[in-house]
Structure 1
Amino acid sequence: MKTLMMAVSFAFIALNCNAQRGERKAPPTTEEVFEQMDADQDGLLAESEVKGPLKKDFATIDANQDGFISPEELENAPKPEKKKRTRGRRED
């Protein structure tokens, strides 16, 4: 009986881990980005306020080149291309 309970527990844990591994987090919305990064709450993102890929592509996203990213500019920014995943294959 104890062995059966352990097997069921391990199966549950394995299924739970696989479910978590399969979940993909959606990219943040424009509103979420501004809530997280707009430190001075002026409705615009200065280069000093942003980080990560947004900082790297700041000049491209800042379409009117005024030194700030507006919500509209972020909405209209080119979306990054998704990387293709190869499953267990190495390319030689």
Structure 2
Amino acid sequence: MNTINFKTGIVAVAFIFFGITTSTAQSRGDKKPKKATYEQLLEKMDADEDGMLSEEEVKGRLKEQFSTIDTDEDGFISEEEFDNAPKPKRRGKKEN
């Protein structure tokens, strides 16, 4: 009787472990991040709340490519310029 309960417990633990590892692996899938909308960028970066994104306000890749995106060279990125901006090059996977 004890042997049956022990075996049943081992099988139950194995199923639980399998379920946890499967759900964790699925949640870390290679999903592409969605491109932020212009409105979302305004909410995050428009520090002076003037409805425009200047080079001083933007961060990251947007700041690195500001002069390329600001095609009319007025010092701000408009929604049209943002929508027409070249897609950033994909970065390689990090090596451990």
Q: Shorter-chain TM-score category?
A: 0.7 to 0.9
Q: Which has the higher contact order (CA 8 A, sep 6+)?
A: 1
Q: Tell me, what secondary structure is at the counterpart of 2:22?
A: helix
Normalised to the residue count of structure 1, the TM-score between the two structures is: 0.79
Higher relative helix content: 2
Structure 2: gaps of 5 or more residues: 1-7
| Identical aligned residues as a percent | 45
The number of aligned residues is 85
Q: Which residue type is aligned with residue 66 of structure 1?
A: D
- Structure 1 segments of 4 or more deviating over 4 A? none
TM-score by length of 2: 0.76
Amino acid at match of 2:42: F
In structure 1, stretches of 5+ residues that fail to align are 86-92
RMSD: 1.7
**2 CA distance for matches of 1:5 and 1:52?**
48
1:15 equivalent to 2:22? Answer yes
Aligned residue runs from structure 1 range 9-88, under 5 A: 9-24=16-31, 25-83=33-91
Indicate the structure (1 or 2) with the bigger Cα radius of gyration.
Answer: 2
